[in-house]
Structure 1
Amino acid sequence: MSPKSPEEEFPQKAFGWAARDTCGHLSPFKFSRRATGEEDVVLKVLYCGVCHSDLHASKNEWGISMYPLVPGHEIVGVVTEVGAKVTKFQEGDKVGIGCMVGACHSCDNCTQDLENYCPNMILTYSATYHDGSTTYGGYSDIMVANERYVVRFPDNLPLDAGAPLLCAGITVYSPMKYYGLSEPGKHLGIVGLGGLGHVAVKFAKAFGLKVTVISTSADKEKEAIEHLGADLFLVSREHDQMQAAMGTMDGIIDTVSAFHPLLPLLGLLKPNGKLILVGAPEKPLELPAFPLIMGRKMVAGSGIGGMKETQEMIDFAGKHNITADIEVIPMDYINTAMERLVKADVRYRFVIDVANTLPKTA
């Protein structure tokens, strides 16, 4: 049998927006996606969230980008086609695709439903797929993915405001569950009130936790307490406030992606407390040993979650009406949105209205 031509292997014409180089500027891009495999699901993309990772990747700030790069890993849409062996989905289903589209399925992590920690995990964009092709993300009109990496959306969960949960939501939900910080009555600190932090507050309150938001910006207090439902608010630059809260928290979810001191945060923890990093600062953070030793405290990290847990998170969000606070934008606004994202000028997540605005940029 002769090998398939590129046109046979990648027959599905796609259209999106891509970065071509490290300047990160995005513009219209025509490409092709693979033929629908036996276990594949094809979806029409309706909305795609804009994650800070998209900005980093577009500019190759992590040194792993592959150009041309179509970002987007908070993808929601409607199934338009399924492969012959697909059992979980059918045409017309509302679904989502998050940060990964593949893994080895045989290592210890994969067998424990932790595909996100598989050494061969395949990112939704700017990665190499099993067939050697480059993966392209959700700033595009269609997606093709193995059904294992597709989640079903609850009927009551809005697709636009639910999209960011596929990255931001699972990123904060997973460590709360794993580190025992989802038990009612626990006191959880949340550092940063951005795309991750505001969703963390909502999940924490749904779990029945006492929540303190920790921020450098005093003007976010009203938003944190009156709108998002946090119980307390600390300005991290105010020494007296921080001192008064010393030793009161069971755990802290740190969502900040900029360099910041950990020592004041460790002081807020009770003995055996856990400081969990989910932000990704570009520079290494300084880790003081003494407060860890004296309080048997822990500094740990967490990155998204496996597919089983991601479905669990979306179902929990549907049950408790948890969504992200979003600003819906047209596709051709994306470069301006990226500029605003650098300045943290969004409350709290941009979401691209792909279905209604992408065709108009062709």
Structure 2
Amino acid sequence: MTAHRHHTFQAVSGTIIRAGLFLCLLLLLFPALTMAAESPTVIRRAALDIGSAVTKCTVADVNPISCDVVKIVQRFSVKVDYAEDMARSYDGNLSKDILEKGMKAVKELKRKALALGTHEFSAVGGPPFREARNGKAFFALIQEETGFAARIVSEQQASLLSYQSVQQHASVASPDLLVWDIGGDDQTMTVRANDGSLVFHIDKMASVSFKNAVISAIQGRDINTVSSPNPMSANEVERGLELVEAYAMLSVEKGLANRIRNGKVRVVGIGGVHYHAVPELLGQRGPAYTRLEVEEALSRWTGKSDEAFNSEYADTRLTNLILVLGYMRALDIETIAPLKVNQADGLLISPDFW
């Protein structure tokens, strides 16, 4: 009888202990499960912007449900000058050498992104690939050899990606935001109209195209044999400014130009020209730069050789200053806020590309 009671007591005690442990386990797990249910899904993505002169890759943790960037993990970039190559093309094709260099850059960026635990990839390309006869074939080859989507986007799609990249930043996002992106082969200005729709200004006066215009139209030299306009004389700089100002006055739609001149927009500059080229020649990086600062920098750097710029982008450094200043004067822009984003940042949160 005593043994039977002892056995029963042990069985009941074991059951109670197991139930207690199970209950404790539930209590421990339940908050974690609740937190997991309430936390957004986060995916590590790599977005590649295969630009006219630079291939950029942004690796980030993204919430695909809310379309928000949770954290920027790393940024990479490689100079691959498709625009320069295309400007020298005799048959409308990108050269074999530049395509091989470009593919190598894309694969290297993929390798770096994978090392950071990236799960999803997407790439976009713009002007050189729309214009080149072999542009589509090259992007098909990228997709085949890397296994991720690679698409050539329209001018409007590229502008939208630029705008979306800036909208993520609460410090600058506002209804009067104008995003100015200068690439190697085109530039865009994107702003919201009063009805909420987006207005796009797109033209071909850009970093590489303007540099080549200076070499050919102002210096009277052959861009097939000359790649840099430096050193530029004060007279050449002044003629360059006159060219840009006249072009901007004619090319920017009157309604948009008036809105900018009246101070009805806040200008944010993105891409390498605004974030790297201009501040480097100013000798300082701040939340904004002014027209006066650009004028002073242009005066200091006029007459300098490529070696003085100490940059792999030396051939466009001075002409970039001329380009930016010419538009600032034509549109009466006093201040530009440079932001470290590019089309890849907009690509990260665009559902159509994933």
Q: TM-score, with normalisation over the residues of structure 2?
A: 0.29
Largest Rg, 1 or 2: 2
Structure holding more strand per residue: 1
Structure holding more helix per residue: 2
Q: TM-score, with normalisation over the residues of structure 1?
A: 0.29
